[in-house]
Structure 1
């Protein structure tokens, strides 16, 4: 049997109004049209629903028994087809999963968590590490928000550029390059380097920029996270080249120095990405707004 949701609305109106005329006025249809709907409901349920007693109509025992259930079902359907435009943050209970680059978690995660806790104490955030391969969790709904330097190519994934940061060199305090007023491209290339790559790549756009100048550098190691790479730089003369914004909290804590990068490269972008299914999800939109602010700080 195929369910007609219009009959559910008509049944709710009939049970609430207790008459065909009243239900017709409520549904903005004619009385004959509502009578036809009542006939269809009777055939579908096998019950009279309303029976005439004198000048009024009285609900049957079955109608009385299902009245509240019908009203609740209609309310749920309306909620699905026309979701509420209001979001009650004080009572919102939801867990969001965020897959962010580790440096962005360290840099912007605390500000985002504080904002969420201040507005919606029932919301929980799950920050998870990036994978070494491209994974479909955004599409499957297992990840709510991604934040990294990669713009997704899938047509069903939304992406917004929420910030950018220029690349800088990070070295230990006392490194020989800290005694040079301006590091040249040749000096940069002559040093030994650690790259950050969750896939273990030994080359990146920096090597392409050096190649255009006829230069090459020696990469002696890769690290899956910036935190690990910074530790390598901290205890050696190795160089690490990373976005300036991601070094703010770590440099002072680890006793590292920041130097300008002697190459003409565009700033590293920061993309916030989500699946299109969440475009009109008000709680998700609220979180995106907070994340956008935190990442832009």
Structure 2
């Protein structure tokens, strides 16, 4: 039996996208052509691969079992067949797209943009704000990198943890909490603003307080840490933010920080990308620049910490 290896690429796209339309868009094929390929795959494997459940399609147990192997074979085939070109940043024309938390993006942007400007005239970067809902933009190739504090859940998303940051309580120098030790009772009695891209008014801190038999009043949520810190600088509210990542904004706003009066886990800083870029030399270069930018930022912030309560 003659095997059409192109079907592996179609199968890989179908298993990642979970739909004929999505796979067709990725492969730049028509939906009917992709549907015909799915029919051939079904006949070859003796399995339905994707079955319709309402308006979506769900992979069969067999499809889930072979998904990682199929992806590996496709990536290995590309590595073998593609020419081993060296990376010439001076002639490369590419616009990288990075989505990230506002504080993280602000922290690394100066060093990252300096590296991109120096590397080549055809390079640029688009910095996008976090979406207020979870997206599949990495999977669909609409975003090159996502920088956040959460780990990816999709198996085809690669990631690297660059480091972590501790959480601190920020407030104005003349805030009532600035004049005495910040006990858990004083923390809970104060009014708060929290950072939530989805507009939520509760977060893990409320769970920690509930375990201690306490509640706090959350007056508002802000979509970014920068917005929350500016609000705090003009009010008698408290906000909990990442210490190092938000240091420049903390200093500009003239805010003091204190240690939370209960244990809070450090916030990881994670960069994520789709596996299709694992062996892409330009993408690997971008990841290195993001890694270096974060390390440079941490080195600088250590020398310019603001006042602590």
Q: Tell me, yes or no, whether TM beats 0.5.
A: yes
Alignment coverage as a number of residue pairs: 222
Corresponding residue for 1:86?
86
Are 2:119 and 1:119 aligned?
yes
How far apart, CA to CA, are the structure 1 residues paired with 2:226 and 2:145?
A: 22
**Could you tell me how far 1:82 is from its partner in structure 2?**
2.7
How far apart, CA to CA, are the structure 2 residues paired with 1:226 and 1:149?
A: 13
Corresponding residue for 1:257?
256
Where does 1:27-106 land on structure 2 (aligned, <5 Å)?
Answer: 81-106=81-106
Where does 1:266-281 land on structure 2 (aligned, <5 Å)?
Answer: 266-281=265-280
Instruction: Tell me the SS of whatever aligns to 1:170.
Output: strand
How far apart, CA to CA, are the structure 1 residues paired with 2:98 and 2:205?
A: 29
Where does 1:1-297 land on structure 2 (aligned, <5 Å)?
Answer: 81-180=81-180, 182-296=181-295, 297=298
Bigger shift: 137-146 or 101-110? Answer: 101-110
How far apart, CA to CA, are the structure 2 residues paired with 1:213 and 1:83?
A: 61
**Could you tell me how far 1:267 is from its partner in structure 2?**
0.4
Instruction: Tell me the SS of whatever aligns to 1:195.
Output: strand
- Structure with higher Rg: it is 1
How far apart, CA to CA, are the structure 2 residues paired with 1:108 and 1:219?
A: 30
Gaps of 5+ in 2: 1-77, 299-309
**Could you tell me how far 1:79 is from its partner in structure 2?**
9.5
Superimposed CA distance per residue, residues 11-32 of structure 1 (whole angstroms, 9 cap, x where no aligned partner): xxxxxxxxxxxxxxxxxxxxxx
Instruction: Tell me the SS of whatever aligns to 1:117.
Output: helix
Instruction: Tell me the SS of whatever aligns to 2:192.
Output: strand
**Could you tell me how far 1:83 is from its partner in structure 2?**
3.1
Instruction: Tell me the SS of whatever aligns to 1:211.
Output: helix
Instruction: Tell me the SS of whatever aligns to 2:244.
Output: helix
How far apart, CA to CA, are the structure 1 residues paired with 2:116 and 2:259?
A: 35
How far apart, CA to CA, are the structure 2 residues paired with 1:93 and 1:113?
A: 15
How far apart, CA to CA, are the structure 1 residues paired with 2:244 and 2:148?
A: 13
How far apart, CA to CA, are the structure 2 residues paired with 1:148 and 1:285?
A: 18
Query: What is the alpha-carbon root mean square deviation over aligned residues?
Result: 2.1
- Give TM-score, length-normalised by structure 1: 0.71
Corresponding residue for 2:65?
none
Q: After the TM superposition, which segments of 4 or more aligned residues of structure 1 sit over 3 Å from their partners?
A: none
**Could you tell me how far 1:80 is from its partner in structure 2?**
8.4
Corresponding residue for 1:45?
none
Superimposed CA distance per residue, residues 133-180 of structure 1 (whole angstroms, 9 cap, x where no aligned partner): 011111010100000111110111111111110000111121111111
Compared with structure 1, are the counterparts of its residues 267 and 152 closer, same or farther at alpha carbon in structure 2 (3 Å cutoff)? same
Gaps of 5+ in 1: 1-77
How far apart, CA to CA, are the structure 2 residues paired with 1:83 and 1:282?
A: 12
